[in-house]
């Protein structure tokens, strides 16, 4: 059952289900329903089933929802379909939460555990027997993409870093997310170097995890604590933009924590209004004529995948428009709905095959456009695409970094 | 900066966006959710009925009389030629999806076996005028009852019609499939062959086969199926989701993106900024905050009541919530009547516009110089009984786009033949001269041309 705050929130979220006209647009776009009969679709488990739940969830097909949020994005009536499903799933799993879901949703914990022994951990995760045991014991599919721990954390790089340029444009706060601390360190470094190159003074507070993976696994209590702590850490330098290089975590701060878990701390609302995805921030500069366009040509053709949780922010695909400013670079929008990982969904042994089927149109597009390099804004999606295609998959700032001659 | 912000991704919004972007404008299209094309039938209506029982056979021939009877209807503003040119423009853009119009409406079987009139159909929907038909429905597709359809077609289409059920799951373990799943499954030639076998196993020697519109999403497999069944195959309309509608929606959206239109999906336009006479920006309620989208022009294509572009509060007050535009059609006390099938005058509520599709006040003043409303928001039409929504959408969208593209930002009618100079040869000579004089320095300036003419 819910605590009082989430019960009230659930009631508010439920109000949107009366907007449902049963128009079926969500069903036509749901990437999971398209590949498996195990999930009866967002309309059915969402606004339809919700009328009968009364706080209890008994329809286990709901667990096959990947929480990608496509249904909410495409709904022309404003029904919070994915949010309703997330709340209902949390209620359903409350009393029998799998140990696996508790582990894989704590990214910081995984990072802290793997980083000191990174070479060993990375090596172990490549061993078939280790993966076989992981699948049998905790239910992480043996073929699922695993993060590669970095031997150097972003914090340790930052400790020895001094900007080589004089700030001319004022401050920005940098939000790297927990993956940016332990796994995607290079993306964090390139984002800082890029912002400094553009003349910003980059302030990076010590920061924890946003709790997104906990939330999507239904661990709301822990997720609320994480996102509140993070909001307090980022709520410095009033009025200063907060620039994030982890697009899905940016979405958590902007709206998901509020819309799914009912967190309404003033610090979260403040941070949510100030936080910008890196490409969103840079495109906004470009629109105002404040982004230098002295790019070195990057003669490449790459596929770009806009992650679900970036699309869910309702701002289009900023990276696509931004990268198209780089001469020589041809960016092909893969136009895929979802890569299939959906946070931690595609890691799970019972959902791995579904995740791979969801991602197949995207994998095919990447292999067709450029089997060596592709672009995507979020970490787990990059791991998923890289594992399925063999391509190197990079954050959009990597290409900007190169186009400015910084790499 | 964006030249034009288009609000809405239905037939009107996409048509306007494509026209403007292909003319070189920088266009941003804002849409709260997917557009409504896939909730329609994947056909293009122009005018299907005049009054409840008068079937229209040649819609454009009715326009003059229609305008006299309905002076406030959007067609009276736009005229037969513009509407015809507009739907022809659409058909030319979608040569694989729409059969070019020949001035006549097509009869089209629906999921209840009525014959619905529409102007442009997809090639898979052309009615072959059979004397007998087999109506076949897979048990896994809901909302299509072949025996009901057949019994009604016997009356509505004057054919010998027989209903048949086949039992062929689109994928293992599924008792009921969404039309999307079924349509994608049939794109696989092996599945299609098994489907054809199951149909042949049931039907007799009927002239043609009527099936629900699930014959392929990205690739329509009706021709292949017709070959396998050795007789014409007709797709009959289903309730949403409409596979033929999805075909058109996906094709037009792809054309808009290819033309450079920036599409922003999932956020609602909640307000705007203005300098008094012009809209300078629209406000998009994005995740976390409101974002301003400045633009030189705005095309407002949000639909009507069905998409909450018009709302009624509990006191019965009807408003347009984004720009708070003046609404026409409110001045009657029978907006909603108890007769479900009556016209329901509330659906004719909307904006009254000038020749450039700019909303007008009750006094006939333009509300904002650069704001154009198109499609379902225009006053004066009851689209669902007239079967007129698509024609209004495309024609008003192109009219607004052409107004925006003209140097004055307004549309003016082309000179009528009586205004033309009497000697056409002279005009031709002048035009040829102008074309020959490529050097701008020697090209006569427009005022001189005017003097000559």
The minimal CB distance from A73 to the residues B172, B263, B265 is found for B265
Q: Which helix (H) or strand (E) holds A174?
A: strand A171-175
pLDDT averaged over chain A?
Answer: 91
Q: How many residues does chain B have?
A: 453
Please report residues of B whose CB lies closer than 8 A to that of A23.
39, 240-241
* Both structure tokens of B249: 């929606």
Higher pLDDT, A321 or A93: A321
Q: Verify whether the Cβ–Cβ distance B288 to A28 is below 8 Å.
A: no
The pLDDT > 70 percentage for chain A reads 96
pLDDT of chain B, 453 residues: tens digit per residue? 799 999 999 999 999 999 999 999 999 999 999 999 999 999 999 999 998 778 999 999 999 999 999 999 999 999 999 999 999 999 999 999 999 999 999 999 999 999 999 999 999 999 999 999 999 999 999 899 999 999 999 999 999 999 999 999 999 888 899 999 999 999 999 999 999 999 999 999 999 999 999 999 999 999 999 999 999 999 999 999 999 999 999 999 999 999 999 999 999 999 999 999 999 999 999 999 999 999 999 999 999 999 999 999 999 999 999 999 999 999 888 899 998 888 889 999 999 999 999 999 999 999 999 999 999 999 999 999 999 999 999 999 999 999 999 999 999 887 765 544 444 444 433 344 444 444 444 333 444 333 333
pLDDT confidence of residue A1 = 37
What is the number of other CB atoms lying within 10 angstroms of the CB of residue B315? 5
Q: Coil, strand or helix: which one is B191? A: helix
pLDDT confidence of residue B427 = 40
* Distance from the B49 Cα atom to the nearest Cα atom in chain A, whole angstroms: 25
pLDDT confidence of residue A11 = 57
Q: What is the dihedral of CA B184, B185, B188, B189, to 10 degrees?
A: -120
pLDDT confidence of residue B71 = 94
Does A37 contact chain B (CB < 8 Å)?
A: yes
Contact B250, B279 (CB under 8 A): no
Closest listed residue to residue A7, CA positions, set A53, A62, A63, A48? A53
Does B181 contact chain A (CB < 8 Å)?
A: yes
Nearest C-alpha in B relative to A22: B240
pLDDT confidence of residue B438 = 40
The pLDDT > 70 percentage for chain B reads 92
In order of B65, B79, B87, B118, the CA distances from B57 in angstroms are 14, 18, 17, 9
- Residue A350 above 80 pLDDT? yes
Q: How many residues does chain A have?
A: 407
- Residue A124 above 60 pLDDT? yes
- Residue A394 above 50 pLDDT? yes
Q: At what angle do helices A185-197 and A396-403 cross, to 10 degrees?
A: 40
Angle B371-B373-B377 from CA coordinates, rounded to 5° = 150
**Alpha carbon A296 to its chain's center:** 30
pLDDT averaged over chain B?
Answer: 91
Angle B421-B425-B428 from CA coordinates, rounded to 5° = 90
Question: Cα separation of B107 and B206, whole Å?
Answer: 19
Nearest C-alpha in B relative to A258: B288
E strands, B259-305, are 262-265, 268-274, 279-286, 289-300
The position carrying tokens 């290409």 is A399
* Both structure tokens of A305: 């995948």
pTM across the whole model:
0.92
- Residue A139 above 70 pLDDT? yes
Dihedral over Cα of A155, A381, A396, A398: its sign: positive
Please report residues of A whose CB lies closer than 8 A to that of B180.
27-28, 34
Question: Cα separation of B200 and B227, whole Å?
Answer: 12
pLDDT confidence of residue A50 = 87
Question: Cα separation of B402 and A92, whole Å?
Answer: 55
The reply to whether omega before B241 is within 30° of 0 (cis) is yes
- Residue A401 above 60 pLDDT? yes
Q: Coil, strand or helix: which one is A176? A: coil
pLDDT tens digits for A79-97?
999 988 888 888 888 777 7
Question: Cα separation of A211 and A109, whole Å?
Answer: 12
Query: Beta partners for A329?
Result: A300
Dihedral over Cα of B17, B19, B21, B27: its sign: negative
Please report residues of A whose CB lies closer than 8 A to that of B17.
none
* Both structure tokens of B286: 């994005």
* Span(s) in chain A for CATH 1.10.1060.10: 4-93
pLDDT confidence of residue B433 = 41
The minimal CB distance from B307 to the residues A27, A76, A272 is found for A76
Contact B309, B349 (CB under 8 A): no
The second-level CATH assignment, the architecture, of A293-403 is: 3-Layer(aba) Sandwich (3.40)
The β-bridge relationship of strands A300-305 and A329-333 is parallel
Does A74 contact chain B (CB < 8 Å)?
A: yes
Question: Cα separation of A313 and A251, whole Å?
Answer: 6
pLDDT confidence of residue B53 = 78
The position carrying tokens 């003319």 is B23
What is the number of other CB atoms lying within 10 angstroms of the CB of residue A127? 10
Name residues 254-293 of chain B within 8 A of A (Cβ): 257, 262-268, 284-289, 291
Q: Coil, strand or helix: which one is B231? A: coil
Mutation site, B11, B33, B187, interface A, largest A CB count within 10 A:
B33
> What CATH number matches the domain at A4-93, 1.10.10.60, 1.10.3720.10, 1.10.1060.10, 1.25.40.20?
1.10.1060.10
Question: Cα separation of A64 and A352, whole Å?
Answer: 11
pLDDT confidence of residue B453 = 31
Mutation site, B288, B295, B306, B308, interface A, largest A CB count within 10 A:
B288
Q: Verify whether the Cβ–Cβ distance A273 to B284 is below 8 Å.
A: no
Please report residues of A whose CB lies closer than 8 A to that of B306.
21
Q: Coil, strand or helix: which one is A379? A: helix
Exposed / middle / buried, residue B339 (Cβ in 10 Å: 0-12, 13-18, 19+): exposed
pLDDT tens digits for A38-67?
999 999 998 988 888 876 767 789 999 999
What is the number of other CB atoms lying within 10 angstroms of the CB of residue A126? 11
* Span(s) in chain A for CATH 3.40.50: 293-403
Average pLDDT over residues A161-180: 93
What phi-psi label fits residue B52: left (phi over 0), alpha (psi between -120 and 50 degrees) or beta? alpha
pLDDT confidence of residue A98 = 81
Q: Coil, strand or helix: which one is B108? A: strand
The ipTM, to two decimals, is 0.92
- Residue A158 above 90 pLDDT? yes
Query: Beta partners for A19?
Result: none
Does A244 contact chain B (CB < 8 Å)?
A: no
pLDDT confidence of residue A7 = 52
Average pLDDT over residues A336-341: 95
- Residue A299 above 90 pLDDT? yes
B238 CB-near residues (< 8 Å, 6+ apart): B111, B141, B143, B144, B179, B212, B213, B214
């Amino acid at each position: 059952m819910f605590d009082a705050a989430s019960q009230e929130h659930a009631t508010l979220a439920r109000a949107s289900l009366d907007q449902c006209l049963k128009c079926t647009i969500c069903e036509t776009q749901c990437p999971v329903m398209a590949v498996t009969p195990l999930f009866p679709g967002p309309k059915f488990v969402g606004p339809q089933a919700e009328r009968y739940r009364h706080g209890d969830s008994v329809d286990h097909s709901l667990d096959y929802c990947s929480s990608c949020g496509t249904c909410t994005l495409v709904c022309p009536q404003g029904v919070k379909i994915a949010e309703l499903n997330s709340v209902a799933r949390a209620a359903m799993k409350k009393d029998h939460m799998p140990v696996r879901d508790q582990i894989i949703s704590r990214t910081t914990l995984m990072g802290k555990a793997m980083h000191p022994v990174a070479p060993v951990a990375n090596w172990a995760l490549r061993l078939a027997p280790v993966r076989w045991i992981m699948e049998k014991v905790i239910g992480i599919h043996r073929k699922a993409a695993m993060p590669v721990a970095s031997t150097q954390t972003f914090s340790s790089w930052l400790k020895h870093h001094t900007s080589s340029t004089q700030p001319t444009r004022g401050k920005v706060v940098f939000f790297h997310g927990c993956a940016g601390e332990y796994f995607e360190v290079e993306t964090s470094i390139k984002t800082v170097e890029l912002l400094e190159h553009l003349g910003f003074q980059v302030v990076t507070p010590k920061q924890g995890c946003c709790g997104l993976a906990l939330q999507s696994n239904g661990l709301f209590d822990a997720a609320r604590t994480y996102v509140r702590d993070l909001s307090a850490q980022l709520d410095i330098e009033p009025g200063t933009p907060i620039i994030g290089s982890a697009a899905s975590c940016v979405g958590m701060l902007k709206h998901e924590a509020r819309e799914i878990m009912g967190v309404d701390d003033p610090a979260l609302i403040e941070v949510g209004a100030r936080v910008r995805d890196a490409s969103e921030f840079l495109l906004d500069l470009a629109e105002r004529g404040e982004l230098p366009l002295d790019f070195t040509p990057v003669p490449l053709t790459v596929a770009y995948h806009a992650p679900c949780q970036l699309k869910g922010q309702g701002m289009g695909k900023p990276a696509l428009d931004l990268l198209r400013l780089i001469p020589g670079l041809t960016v092909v929008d893969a136009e895929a709905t979802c890569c299939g990982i959906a946070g931690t969904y595609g890691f799970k042994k019972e959902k791995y095959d579904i995740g791979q089927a969801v991602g197949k149109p995207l994998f095919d597009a990447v292999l067709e456009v450029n089997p060596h390099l592709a672009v995507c804004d979020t970490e787990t999606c990059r791991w998923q695409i890289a594992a399925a295609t063999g391509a190197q998959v990079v954050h959009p700032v990597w290409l900007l970094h190169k186009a400015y001659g910084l790499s | 900066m964006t030249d034009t912000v288009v609000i809405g991704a239905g037939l009107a919004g996409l048509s306007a966006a494509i026209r403007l972007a292909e003319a070189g404008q920088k266009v941003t299209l804002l849409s709260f959710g997917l557009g409504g094309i896939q909730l329609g039938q994947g056909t293009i209506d122009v005018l299907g009925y005049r009054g409840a029982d008068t079937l229209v056979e040649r819609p454009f021939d009715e326009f003059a009389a229609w305008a006299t009877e309905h002076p406030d209807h959007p067609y009276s503003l736009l005229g037969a030629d513009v509407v015809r040119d507009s739907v022809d423009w659409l058909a030319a853009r979608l040569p694989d999806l729409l059969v070019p119009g020949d001035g006549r409406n097509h009869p089209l079987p629906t999921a209840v076996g009525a014959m619905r009139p529409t102007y442009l159909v997809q090639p898979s929907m052309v009615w072959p005028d059979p004397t007998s038909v087999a109506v076949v429905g897979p048990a896994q597709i809901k909302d299509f009852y072949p025996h009901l359809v057949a019994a009604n077609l016997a009356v509505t289409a004057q054919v010998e019609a027989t209903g048949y059920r086949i039992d062929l799951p689109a994928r293992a373990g599924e008792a009921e499939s969404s039309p999307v799943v079924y349509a994608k499954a049939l794109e696989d030639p092996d599945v299609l062959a098994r489907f054809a076998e199951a149909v042949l196993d049931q039907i007799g020697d009927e002239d043609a086969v009527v099936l629900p519109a699930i014959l392929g999403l990205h690739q329509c497999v009706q021709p292949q199926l017709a070959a396998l069944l050795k007789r014409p195959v007709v797709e009959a309309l289903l309730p949403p989701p409409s596979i033929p509608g999805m075909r058109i929606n996906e094709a037009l959206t792809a054309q808009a993106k290819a033309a450079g239109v920036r599409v922003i999906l999932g956020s609602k336009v909640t307000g705007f900024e203005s300098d008094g006479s012009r809209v300078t920006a629209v406000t998009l309620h994005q995740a976390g905050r409101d974002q301003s989208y400045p633009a030189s022009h705005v095309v407002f294509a949000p639909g009507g009541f069905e998409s909450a572009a018009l709302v009624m509060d509990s006191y019965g007050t009807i408003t347009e919530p984004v720009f708070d535009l003046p609404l026409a059609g409110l001045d009657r006390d029978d907006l909603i009547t108890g007769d479900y099938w009556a016209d329901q005058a509330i659906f004719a509520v909307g904006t009254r516009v000038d020749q450039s599709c700019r909303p007008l006040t009750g006094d006939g003043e333009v509300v904002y110089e650069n704001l154009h409303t198109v499609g379902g928001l225009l006053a004066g039409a009851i689209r669902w009984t007239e079967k007129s929504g698509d024609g209004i959408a495309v024609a008003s969208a192109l009219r607004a786009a052409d107004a925006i593209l003209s140097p004055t930002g307004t549309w003016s009618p082309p000179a009528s033949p009586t205004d033309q100079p009497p000697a056409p040869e002279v005009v031709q000579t002048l035009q040829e001269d102008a074309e020959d004089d490529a050097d701008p320095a020697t090209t006569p300036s427009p005022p001189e041309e005017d003097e000559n003419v």
